[in-house]
Amino acid sequence: MLSIRFNRLAMAVAAATSLVLSGPLAAQTPEHPTDTAQFPSAHDLRTMTRAGSYLAARHASVERDAKSAAAFYRSALRTDPKNNELLDRAFISSLAEGEIAAAVKLADRILTVDKSNRVARLVIGVHYLKLKKYAAARKNINQSVRGPITDLVATLLSGWADYGAGNVKQAVANIDKLTGPEWYPIFKDLHSGMLLDLAGREKDAGVRLERAYKLDDSALRVADAYARWLSRNKDDAAALAVYESFDKKLARHPLILEGIKETKAGKKLPQLVSSPQTGAAEALYGIGASLTRRGGEDLALVYLQLALYLAPNHPMALLSLADLYESVKKPEMAIGVYQRVPANSPLKRNAQVQLATDLDAVDRSDEAIKILKDVTEQDPKDLEAIMALGNIERGHKKFADCTKTYAKGIDVIAEAKDKPNWVYYYFRGICEERSKNWDKAEVDMKKALEIQPEQPHVLNYLGYSWIDRGLNLDEAMKMIKRAVDQRPDDGYIVDSLGWAYYRIGNYEEAVKTLERAINLKPEDPTVNDHLGDAYWRVGRTLEAKFQWAHARDLKPEPDELPKIEAKIENGLPADETPAAASADKKKEDGKGG
């Protein structure tokens, strides 16, 4: 990914996407690639009317399900082949889904009625580039331009088409001629350097790659390409220096670690790209990845799908595409993409960790836990995998398991003599407290505060736990207030303060504070339950029963439901000091951390 001079890119993205994309791609991203039942089925499509297919396609688009949308639009198009709106929507949906072969056929049809359709031109151009028909590729790609991003993409792709046709000099000259925003030069130098390197003009390639590296030595692909050139054309020490310098800026990136390992072994590293097709894929990936996190998901999706059409196993493009799906809340689609990362890629382990996170998000936690256990068995010091595993176990209330998992992370940090990380102690403390090992939990919470004295979640959890047990009441209340001062809009922390007032018998203050918490978290059953208790203690019994009824309807924890129903029926005993409500702890188990 090119972390470069893209400060103005977000503004350019909006202009480019509005000019380039004529279909409803913004509402469409693929979904359900791993479902065993295919929807829509062939039978569904055969039996639906044109109107039915169209309405189903529009609904699928709203649900961001490009796979179904593309199938339904193509079905509707078969019954009304001259409908240009259906043609355009079917094309855009197919492109979004990554069904490039179908998109190519539809693009051909679009160009018979609209020769200036830029997305269709780009798709046809990339298709010809894949087929090594370089003149036709260049002709179509050059008709896809309009705006700073599309101009850059077209120039780089045309350059790789020229290279494929044997016109190296022309390729570099055309890239050099392109002028535009301040973030152009690094792309131009990187691709000119890779192109010249592949053409055997090592010296000229080195000049370009060094220039790109000086523009931004924190750009991963630039650093990797330059280090690879140095390993073949200068010496291992120079290549190693580039890799190690990058590692200081972004520690432990798998591709950089792989480069360090290979260079230390004395290997001469190959070029980053090996053909015009992989060079063009690199251009599409680089710009698509940069767009993904800058408000350009629509255009990024097009570029990443086309990159994978040219280089199906491009691991960085796969990770960027999965990241894009996660950013639009589509973990189902991200799962399918992570599964495509090649087993021999240094990035496979990263993909597995993210895959597990997404599997857990779609209620496939057993699979997620198995994957993460496999990863940590292969590398017991993998802190990211350890943290991901502990978080999933904690989220599913496997408190004995997550206690052991976080302990492994603490052991790794201690062995590596890294700076202690408060979050491992905090999360282990939660798991110990929920396992009814308070003495151990208290030690861990204190350790977390020793490392990060004003951490609001730790202040909140430890302070609440003390009050709940009748311990250190003055200090505990001060801690919770400090947490609220830092996070005044965190409904869970405000709720803790209100419940703390309740536990010490200050019911009037409890009502005021819990009413604030309700405004922040109106749909949380625990907060509603707490406010009901506080209302009852100040004599507002009708309002108390209303809050308890609301808490009941919001699906509280199973062990809390009978208690809430009993309060609705009978209220609170006059002499009762409420027992510790375990349900409120769930806010830290899954949400407060």
Q: Where are the domains of the chain?
A: 143-312, 454-592
CA geometry: angle 76, 81, 82, nearest 5 deg: 125
CB-count exposure of residue 113 (10 Å: 0-12, 13-18, 19+): exposed
Average pLDDT over residues 218-239: 97
255: which DSSP letter? H
- C-alpha 184: how far from chain center: 26
Instruction: Say how far apart CA 219 and CA 334 lie, in whole Å.
Output: 24
Q: Where are the alpha helices (DSSP H) in 383-506?
A: 383-395, 399-416, 422-434, 438-451, 456-468, 473-486, 491-503
Q: Choose among 361, 297, 365: nearest CA to 327.
A: 297
The least confident of 53-62, 209-218, 379-388 is 53-62
Structure tokens at 305: 């799908």
One-letter-per-residue 3-state SS of 2-34: CCCCCCCHHHHHHHHHHHHCCCCHHHCCCCCCC
pLDDT at residue number 468: 85
Q: Which pLDDT value is given to residue 567? A: 96
488 and 517 in contact (C-beta within 8 Å)? Answer: no
In sequence order, what are the residues at sequence separation of 6 or more whose Cβ sits closer than 8 angstroms to the Cβ of residue 546?
532
**Model confidence at 400, in pLDDT bands (50, 70, 90)?**
very high
Tell me, what's the pLDDT at 97?
85
* Residue at 138: amino acid letter: R
- Cβ atoms of 323 and 291 within 8 Å: the answer is no
Nearest Cα to 295, choosing from 589, 6, 24?
A: 6
Confidence category of residue 13, pLDDT binned at 50, 70, 90: very low
Mean pLDDT for the stretch of residues 212-235: 96
Q: What is the 3-state secondary structure (H, E, C) of 47-116?
A: HCCHHHHHHHHHHHHHCCCHHHHHHHHHHHHHHCCCCHHHHHHHHHHHHHHCCHHHHHHHHHHHHHHCCC
Superfamily designation of domain 143-312: Tetratricopeptide repeat domain (1.25.40.10)
Residue 360 to residue 369: CA distance in whole angstroms: 8
How many angstroms separate the CA atoms of 457 and 256, rounded?
35
Least confident stretch, 58-62, 427-431, 459-463: 58-62
Q: What is the pLDDT of residue 71?
A: 66
pLDDT at 237 over 70: yes
pLDDT score at 63: 57
| Tokens standing for residue 68 | 């179904």
Supply φ then ψ for residue 41, to 5 degrees: -80, 165
Residue 12 or 125, more confident: 125
Residue type, 302: V
Give the span between the Cα atoms of 11 and 6, in whole angstroms. Answer: 10
Residue range 455-474: mean pLDDT, rounded: 92
The whole-number average pLDDT for the span 398-424 is 90
Confidence at residue 21, expressed as pLDDT on a 0 to 100 scale: 37
**Is the full-model pTM beyond 0.85?**
no
Average pLDDT in the 442-448 region? 96
Could you read off the pLDDT of 40-91 as tens digits, one per residue?
554 454 445 555 555 655 555 555 566 665 666 666 667 767 777 888 888 8
Could you give the CA distance from residue 586 to residue 448 in angstroms, rounded to a whole number? 19
Averaged pLDDT for residues 210-237: 97
Contact 365, 392 (CB under 8 A): yes
The whole-angstrom separation of Cα 411 and Cα 424 is 10
Burial class (CB in 10 A: 0-12, 13-18, 19+), 290: buried
3-class SS of residue 450: helix
With a cut of 70, say whether residue 163 has pLDDT above it.
Answer: yes
Q: Which of 47-56, 58-67, 143-152, 186-195 reaches the highest mean pLDDT?
A: 186-195
The residue assigned the tokens 């922040």 is 520
Structural contact between residues 246 and 256, judged by C-beta atoms closer than 8 angstroms: yes
Residue 579 in tokens: 């027992």
Residues 93/63, Cβ–Cβ less than 8 Å: no
CB under 8 Å, gap of 24 or more: what pairs does 245-251 form?
245/217, 246/217, 246/218, 246/220, 249/217, 249/218, 250/218, 250/220
Specify the pLDDT at position 245. Answer: 97
Please give the pLDDT value at position 588.
44
pLDDT at residue 10, as a whole number: 32
- Does the pLDDT at position 317 exceed 60? yes
User: Do the domains 143-312 and 454-592 sit in the same CATH topology, yes or no?
Assistant: yes
Q: Is the pLDDT of residue 236 over 70?
A: yes
Mean pLDDT for the chain overall: 86
pLDDT at 19 over 50: no
pLDDT above 90 covers what percent of the chain?
Answer: 72
41-55, 163-177, 321-335, 572-586 — which one is most confidently predicted on average? 163-177
Q: Contact, 317 vs 304, CB < 8 A?
A: yes
- Identify which of 93, 76, 97, 110 has the alpha carbon closest to the alpha carbon of residue 31: 97
In this prediction, residue 57 carries a pLDDT of 52
Go through 179-204 and write b for each residue having 16 or more CB atoms within 10 A of its CB, e for each that does not. ebbebbbbbbbbbbbbbbbbbebeeb
What separation in angstroms does the CA of 367 have from each of 131, 195, 355, 359, 591? 39, 43, 10, 7, 22
Rounded Cα distance between 237 and 482, Å, is 51
**What's the fold here for domain 454-592?**
1.25.40
The band of 591, judged by pLDDT with boundaries at 50, 70 and 90, is very low
pLDDT in tens, 473-532: 889 999 999 999 999 999 999 999 999 999 989 999 999 999 999 999 999 999 999 999
Confidence bin at 17 (pLDDT 50/70/90): very low
For the chain, the distance separating the N- and C-terminal CA atoms, rounded to the nearest angstrom, is 29
pLDDT score recorded for residue 371: 98
> How many Å apart are CA 413 and CA 410, to the nearest integer?
5
